Amino acid sequence: MFTSLSDSLDKTFRNLRGVGKISEKNIADALREIRIALLEADVEFGVAKDFISRVKEKAMGEDVLKSIKPGEQIVKIFHDELEALLGGDQAPLDLNPPARILICGLNGAGKTTTSAKLANRLKKEGRRPLLIACDLYRPAAIDQLAVLAKQIDVPCYTPDASESDVVKVAKDALAWAEKQQGTVLIFDTAGRQEIDEKLILELKRLHDFVKPKETLLVADSATGQQAVSVAEHFDGAVGITGIILTKLDGDARGGAALSMRAVTGKPIKYAGEGEKLDQLFEFHPSRMADRILGMGDIVGMVEQVADKVNEADAMRSMKRMQEGKFDFTDFLDQMKMIQNLGPLEGLLGLMPGFSKIKKQLPAGAFDNKKIKRTEAIVLSMTLEERTRPEIIKGSRRQRIADGSGTTLMEVNQLIKQFGEMRKMMKSPTKMGNMMKQLGGAPGMKDIMKGFGGGKFPF
Ligand SMILES: Nc1nc2c(ncn2[C@@H]2O[C@H](COP(=O)(O)OP(=O)(O)OP(=O)(O)O)[C@@H](O)[C@H]2O)c(=O)[nH]1
Ligand SMILES: [Mg+2]
């Protein structure tokens, strides 16, 4: 998602940075391009217009025009406004007892999957979630939830197939939940093809009875602007407390994600990025803004890998990046870590600058076979070459290709790609931003202290 928006923004900002002295006209031209890019990404018209005028007001300020690096300043203004547009701070769930979460949304938006994903997350956080199947309309909906619940080992209330009153189901479920000693109840509800009064009425009755602390609207990010009006409608009917965007892993243009918060005023609390039950992530506006601007989401990446890789190794590699010492040995370590992880493109997409690097790679570059080849190339380098890649010139490259059973072209390509990665890591603004983010990651504060009180030399 956001690929074409990111590309357009990247082009515009690159042009802007390239201009020696920035004039108001340069800024106005850039903003016009950005406005078009936003509209092409399916951002709601009013939202795009307001957004541009806010950026414009700040970007036209004296300080910016007179600053040493006006291009960078404008990127920063854009980033901050984007972050604000996406909601500012991450919005947590209200899980005070009795913690009840009502999941609602259109047909096929991902409600049932998301209910299970959320239960899975909460369980990992040490809570005791219970799932309650309240979709009495679609045949097999109850079974679907029960199957997912079983996969994550979370108790699930499954009403009898003949049951037709959703309030009765909720009542029975509460009695059942009492015995289960759960701490968070998640109610999965029936979908609607479109806003359907009968079903909305049913949802209202259920809502009145359950009195949920959280009423979360699940919205498919691929539905674009339509998702926004749906959100407004649900909000009008039952008062939603937040939004969960699903299918961010798809190729949607991202307009819904960008407009949702501004139009409804409701925070996006989570984002679903895949069909697996561990692919639900907290929605952090700042990280999302970084991703849209191609700055990567290092914290997100760290969190995703935290379960699966050795934290000490990851931190060592991060520290080396920060010190500008990242070399092929670190690269190899990372490759190994990456091999243990799930779908690679999604994860690597969180790396700063990766979207640009990715384009230079041949199709299928991230399949396991290719990774093995890359690994072979690095393993054929001497230790010195790994630490000082700049010495890998002509004959060395051929030797490495021969030694690893790859081609000179592959070796050249890898070295070029590595160079780009390194350049990205050395870029003060990008690295500074990454480090700022890192400060916010759980457990990171202590590690940062170890790096010199959280202060970095740029
Ligand atoms: N790629 C991807 N697929 C998802 C995501 N979330 C849900 N899906 C898929 O979307 C489809 C519909 O998901 P459900 O959870 O059944 O949707 P629902 O809103 O409960 O549908 P109804 O109950 O029929 O209204 C399933 O095939 C899910 O696997 C996501 O974040 N990414
Ligand atoms: Mg469902």
* Full residue range of the structural domain in which residue 71 is found: 3-85
CB 193 within 8 A of CB 107: yes
| Phi, psi for residue 363 in degrees, rounded to 5 | -60, 145
For residues 309 and 170, state if they share a domain. Answer: no
What are the DSSP calls for 292-341, one per residue? Answer: HTT---HHHHHHHHHTTS-HHHHHHHHHHHHTT---HHHHHHHHHHHHTS
* Pairing label, strands 129-134, 242-246: unpaired
Kindly state whether residues 63 and 116 are assigned to the same domain. Answer: no
Residue nearest to atom 14 of ligand 1 (CA): 110
Ligand 1 centroid distance, CA of 252 (Å): 15
Whether residues 223 and 335 fall in one domain: no
Burial class (CB within 10 angstroms; exposed 0-12, middle 13-18, buried 19+) of 321: buried
What are the structure tokens assigned to 17, written together?
A: 């940075």
Residue 407 annotated as part of some ligand binding site: no
Residue 139: which residues within 8 A CB-CB, separation 6 or more? Answer: none
Ligand 1 center–CA 113 separation, angstroms: 6
Ligand 2 centre to CA of 138 (Å) is: 8
| pLDDT for res 340 | 64
pLDDT along the chain (458 residues), means of 10: 82 80 85 91 90 90 71 84 90 94 95 98 96 92 97 97 94 95 95 83 96 96 82 92 91 80 92 93 89 68 61 72 79 72 62 60 62 87 90 93 93 88 68 49 40 31
* Residues in contact with ligand 1 (CB, 6 Å cut-off): 105, 107-113, 135, 138, 141, 191, 246-247, 249-250, 272-275
Instruction: State the total domains in the chain.
Output: 3
Based on the number of CB atoms within 10 Å of its own CB, is 391 exposed (0-12), middle (13-18) or buried (19 or more)? Answer: exposed
Asked whether residue 455 is domain-assigned, the answer is no
Give the domain-ending residue among 292, 315, 340. Answer: 292
- Exposure string of 190-206, with b = 16+ CB inside 10 Å and e = fewer, is bbbeeeeeebbebbeeb
- What is each CA distance from 432 to 275, 394, 439, in whole angstroms? 33, 35, 11
Please give the order of strands across the beta sheet that includes 156-157. 156-157, 129-134, 184-189, 99-105, 214-220, 242-246, 268-272, 280-282
Work out whether strand 214-220 and strand 242-246 pair parallel, antiparallel, or are unpaired: parallel
Q: Which atom of ligand 1 is nearest to the CA of 279?
A: 31
**Within this chain, do residues 227 and 347 fall inside the same structural domain, yes or no?**
no
Among 276, 292, 308, give the residue marking a domain's end: 292
Task: Tokens for 130, please give them.
Answer: 């219970």
- pLDDT of 298: 56
Task: Return the pLDDT at 308.
Answer: 63
Task: Decide if 458 is inside a domain.
Answer: no
Burial category of 182 from C-beta neighbours within 10 Å (exposed 0-12, middle 13-18, buried 19 and up): buried
Q: What is the pLDDT of residue 321?
A: 74
Report pLDDT for 345: 63
Per DSSP, what are the bridge partners of residue 157? 132
Same domain, 224 and 279: yes
- Whole-number pLDDT of residue 429: 57
